[in-house]
Structure 1
Amino acid sequence: MKPRPTGFLTLAEELQSYILSFLPYQDILHCTSVCKALRQTYISSSELQYITELGGQQMLSVPDTDLDNHTSISKRLQLLRDKPHAWFKFDIHSSKIVSIPEQFHDAKTSLADGHLCLFNEDEQSAKIFPILPRPSQQKIERDWPPESLCSIPNAESIEVFMDPAQNLIAIACVIVDETLGVDDERLFIDLGALDGDGGVHPEAAGKTLFLSGLPKCEAGLYSIETWKLEGLGSHIAFRRSLLVHDGSYSFGEEIWFVQIWDWQHSTTSNCVLSDSLMSPNVGESLDFCFLGNDRLLIVSKDLKLYSIEDITQAPRLLACFLMPVSVTGIQCLLPMDDIAHSSRLQMQAQRKMWTSDPKNRILSLITRTRDATSSFAFVISTRIFFNPVFHGMAEIPWERWGPSNARVFMHNWRCRVGVSGNRVLQAFPTREATAEDHPSEMDYKLHMMDFSPLAVERRQGLGKVVTEPSTIETTESAETLTTSLPYVEVVSDRIFGADQVMDIWVDKDRIYLPKLNSEEWDSDDIDEIEVIEI
């Protein structure tokens, strides 16, 4: 008798499936493509198919959730497979209207975890409430009456960040001694629980985060000050910028400062970045965003990637990606939906089966050229910032990193771009504008663009696959930009006025269109939000 064969294929199918489940999804697909027996194992295993579906959609599994424990693998697989096609079937005409309280019509407005977050700096008041909540959604609703936000005596709130997933509110407060100059003001970050009574957040290291090394304006000069407060997981970052002028509003430079804390472990931080750059116009020329737990991206005339793994020291520069045009008025837009980060509260609150992979998401940069003749929307795959090939490089030319990892579109500066995971929602004019056209007089359609590789592969007749390179001209130097990141595009059949697309928010299954309560093009007052279910 011939000896019986030994090896992997002699194992029971259940063992083969178990062993294959430890491989990256690309290797699972490779194994099943070269071996008929393993192909049959794959077809019989919902778990292997679920792993490859997660990888193909660039998602991560969220372990130890109630949904995960009570939903079978086959059901999760079907839900995940239905997910890429949801956007291609949405009814843009079916919507509901949510009103905003009158005292917050001109407030700073943001969306987080299905909640509307409002902050009225003039009245020193704030509000948070869920937008058309689902029965299973964790809901937080609270009002902060005027003068009740900051717990620090004689302080004014200048910026507010709310994170319902972590039950967190962070408030940037300033104390100004009227006997001293503006540069002697003291800044603090006050932490609290959204549903609390003003005490210490249960996960926080303390009540107040302390700033250090704030930028100052030289004697005899003046400045316009701007701020940004942002958080992700256990990290909070605060940016302060001073646009310096000589009294005639002829701007020379922007002095900026960014400090990052691990608010769950310390109230102080040595993780500080500061610099200055030329700023000939009013309009912020610097922004930042978190790329997962351990990376921070500073966006200005170029893209500087920093490691913030060690919060006890200054961020470490990993790479500098050069931009193809000189830009100002920068907005850095990351998805507003879930992102993978370690937080027990976040996982309990969101109760999701999967979450976006920060290494495979879409980042949108809205920019204006310095001569103010053009605006662009850069759509960039975040995978480029996790490629170790570029780490340690002081300057990476656009030609090396940009064209195959980005798309660049002409953009109406007053219209926002919505980002969710690998999807981008942008308003484009229904016709080419002429020199006589004012942006407020144009009509627009919404274009949903899905940059997930599986969306491109599996469109099944839904949407238009765009794989060919596209080229736009930069009026600044009459040069051209050619980019080729593949995507699937679906265009709405509904026509929108300019005032209906001034702001666009999008999460995993809804579109939110804030409505202006003024006919003036430059107004930011919002009195209601149109919510479109996907």
Structure 2
Amino acid sequence: MKFISTGFLALAEELQSYILSFLPYRDILRCTTVCRALRQTYMSSSELQYITELGGQQLLPVSDTDLDNHTSISKRLQLLRDKAHAWFKFDIHSFEKVSIPEQYHDAKTSLADGHLCLFNEDEQSAKIFPILPKPSQQRIERDWPSGSLCSIPHADSIEVFMDPAQNLIAIACMIADETLEMDDGERLYIDLGTLDGDGGVHPEAAGKTLFLSGLPRCEDGLYTIENWKLEGLGRHIAFRRSLLVHEGGYKFGEEIWFMQIWDWQHSTTSSCVLSDTIINPEVGESLDFCFLGNDRLLIVSKDLKLYSIEDLSQAPQLLACFLMPVSVTGIQCLLPMDDIAHSSQLQMQTQRTMWTSDPKNRILSLITRTRDATNSLAFIISTRIFFNPQAGVSDRMAGIPWEHWGPLNARIFVHNWRCRVGVSGNRVLQAFPTMDTTLVEDYPNYLLYMMDFSPLAVERRQGLGKVVREPSTIEIPELEETLTTSLPYVEVVSDRIFGVDQVMDIWVDKDRIYLPKLNTEESDSDGIAELEVIEI
């Protein structure tokens, strides 16, 4: 604070405010604590308060929108504060219901930008529609009847990714005709299109089709189980294919996996490829991935491997390896992209929002099952550690021990593997049983816990919620030791009791909670029949 001098304090208050606006929000707050005059300047400036509110909630401003041009700073500040406080007093009993068409009760279901995205692989059909749309929301509603997704004959759709913010649909297709003399690289491809179009080329895409290369193969005669994942963020699309090689019984000898990443706006081919083999994997997913902003990718397996994907003309570059404290299987990497900043200008226009979450300060949830299968764990991790991975570490490639990165940047909770964790920005919505019970054998009732990990939520809760700063400890029987974590958060507990079938899926975005309801009335289906939508 050396610049605080008599000369600076003699400047007009408007000029002081202008100069302070160039500082990081924490430095602005420090100035207000050491100087009474600057405190008065801060209290008189909506702009300075808006900067600190954005920084404290770990958000980024979105410019060049109608809202940005026509909404005053003071109004934006009030809206931002109201949104933050609303999460601490939401009414879990007030909701609306949205029905899901019967043919999609067993479909793969996802949520993106206020739209429900449905894909029925058996029927080879898909659908997207807005969920209780608001007047200012961009709306996309479209059906793809059976057989209309893939444009090439004899091809089946195996995975679909929809991004309403960029009006994009990506479809992973596989040619199923075994009589055709083609290798796997020719049988698999990614088809791109527009959500609201007629099957033509996306106006921002480099071409209609993304081509794969170097797919893993299995020796003839060995039985395999195949799974895949198609995901995107901004200009990136990634496809992962895994082959589980079966050795008999329930024993898998190895898992061979492959991942390719494209800049779909600039090229239909890519040299950005990762592959590896996992020896003796357990039954269940043993690998997942997620994007961390527009230039980083996290591979989640027995360890967390952080890669740079800034240059897609080469293989991803390993930045750091974060060692996990326990061997895990059944991994789910939950990092919803509903409010993360995209590079595309189309995203900025369609979102019609004034702020977005900062990729460097979000929450990542890893749902794991330990190898003794008696526990499921939810690792809640701050993404800030992935943007400063070398802090205090001399040899990052050798692996950063859990003790060096985990305890201060994470929380670990015992978790029922049947339930899902909802994540949006810095907020986590998780179901916890109403009483102590053995999760594997019992079906307890649940309460919903909303946890906000943003700094301002912890520092300025204003009597709302419970601040949790003290460390928490989890026992890991297979290690015969405990894990202690201490990432601070604010906790609010719902007063509504849920059955396990009501919290098997939980989705959260900036303004709503979505609780899918299982279809238990039809004997031949236990899929999702409708959504409870809770406005915040």
Same fold (TM over 0.5): yes
1:445 is aligned to 447
| Structure 2 partner of 1:509 | 511
Please state if 1:56 is matched with 2:56.
yes
Determine helix, strand or coil for the equivalent of 1:158. Answer: strand
1:136 counterpart residue number: 136
SS in 1 for 2:491: strand
The letter of the residue matching 2:117 is C
CA shift, 1:279, in A, is 3.9
Corresponding residue of 2:491 = 489
Match of 1:454 in 2: 456
- SS of residue in 1 equivalent to 2:479: coil
**Post-superposition shift, 1:286?**
0.3
Aligned to 1:431: 435
Partner SS, residue 408 of structure 2: helix
The DSSP-based 3-state class of the residue aligned with 1:52 is: helix
- Within a 5 Å distance, the mapping from 1:189-338 to structure 2 comes to 189-338=190-339
Q: Go from structure 1 to structure 2 and tell me whether the alpha carbon gap of 1:224 and 1:139 turns closer, same or farther (over 3 Å shift).
A: same
**For the Cα contact (< 8 Å) 1:510–1:531, is it kept in 2?**
yes
Offset of residue 169 of structure 1: 0.3
> Retained in 2: the 8 A contact 1:221–1:247?
no
1:19 corresponds to which residue? 19
Deviation sequence 1:321-377 (CA, Å, 0-9, x none): 000000011000013431022111101110100000000000000001122221100
Unmatched tracts of structure 1, length 5 or more = none
Question: 1:385, 1:411 → 2: CA distance?
Answer: 24
Instruction: Measure, in 2, the Cα distance between the counterparts of 1:252 and 1:145.
Output: 39
- Whole-angstrom CA distance in 2 between matches of 1:208 and 1:152: 11
Give SS of 2:43's match. Answer: helix
Question: Cα offset for 1:183?
Answer: 6.2
Contact 1:183 1:216 in 2 (8 A): no
What is the rounded CA distance, in whole Å, between the counterparts of 1:526 and 1:335 in structure 2? Answer: 20
Summarize deviations over 1:468-498 as a string: whole Å, max 9, x none.
1111111222221111111111111111111
Q: Give yes or no for contact 2:100–2:529 (8 Å, CA) kept in 1.
A: yes
The answer to whether the 8 A contact 1:111-1:336 is kept is: no
Query: TM-score of the superposition, structure 1-length normalised?
Result: 0.95
CA distance in 2, matches of 1:338, 1:151: 32
Q: Which amino acid is the alignment partner of residue 415 of structure 2? A: H
Alignment pair present for 1:403 and 2:397: no
Secondary structure of the 1:389 match is: coil
Question: In the alignment, is residue 84 of structure 1 matched against residue 87 of structure 2?
Answer: no
- The 2-side partners of 1:188 and 1:141 are apart by 25
CA distance in 2, matches of 1:97, 1:215: 44
Residues 433 and 180 (structure 1 numbering): CA distance in 2 closer, same or farther, change over 3 Å?
A: farther
Q: Does the CA contact (< 8 Å) of 1:217 and 1:242 recur in 2?
A: yes
Secondary structure of 1:16's aligned partner = helix
Tell me how far 1:18 sits from its aligned partner.
1.5
| 1:310 CA displacement | 0.5
Preserved CA contact (<8 Å) 2:105 2:525: no
1:443–1:498 Cα contact (<8 Å) kept: yes
Q: What one-letter code is carried by the residue in structure 2 that aligns with 1:466? A: V
Letter of the 1:475 partner, please give it: P
> CA offset at residue 8 of structure 1?
2.8
Structure 2, unmatched stretches of 5+, are none
User: Which shifted more, 452-461 or 416-425?
Assistant: 452-461
- Match of 1:129, SS state, is strand
Aligned Cα root-mean-square deviation (Å): 1.9
CA-to-partner distance for each residue in 1:183-206, whole Å, 9 max, x for gaps? 646111100000000000011111
Residues in 1 aligned to 2:246 and 2:341: alpha-carbon distance in whole angstroms: 41
For residues 218 and 301 of structure 2, what CA distance do their matches in structure 1 show?
21
Cα distance, 1:114 vs structure 2 = 0.6
> Is the CA contact 1:176–1:182 (under 8 Å) kept in the aligned structure 2?
no
- The letter for the 1-side match of 2:458 is V
Matches of 1:327 and 1:108 in 2, distance apart?
A: 25
The structural deviation recorded for 1:242 is 0.7
Amino acid in the other structure paired with 1:428: F
Quote the offset at 1:7 in angstroms.
3.6
Please tell me whether residue 105 in structure 1 is matched to residue 105 in structure 2. Answer: yes
Deviation at 1:29, TM superposition (A): 1.7
Q: How far apart in 1 are the matches of 2:302 and 2:418? A: 21
Match of 1:178 in 2: 178
1:247, CA displacement in angstroms? 4.6
Matching residue's letter, 1:300: S
Aligned pairs, number: 528
Q: CA deviation at 1:40?
A: 2.1
Specify the alignment match of 2:380 in structure 1: 379
Residue of structure 2 in register with 1:360 after alignment: 361
Range with greater deviation from structure 2 (100-109 or 273-282): 273-282
Indicate the residue corresponding to 1:465 in structure 2: 467
Partner residue in 1 for 2:157: 157
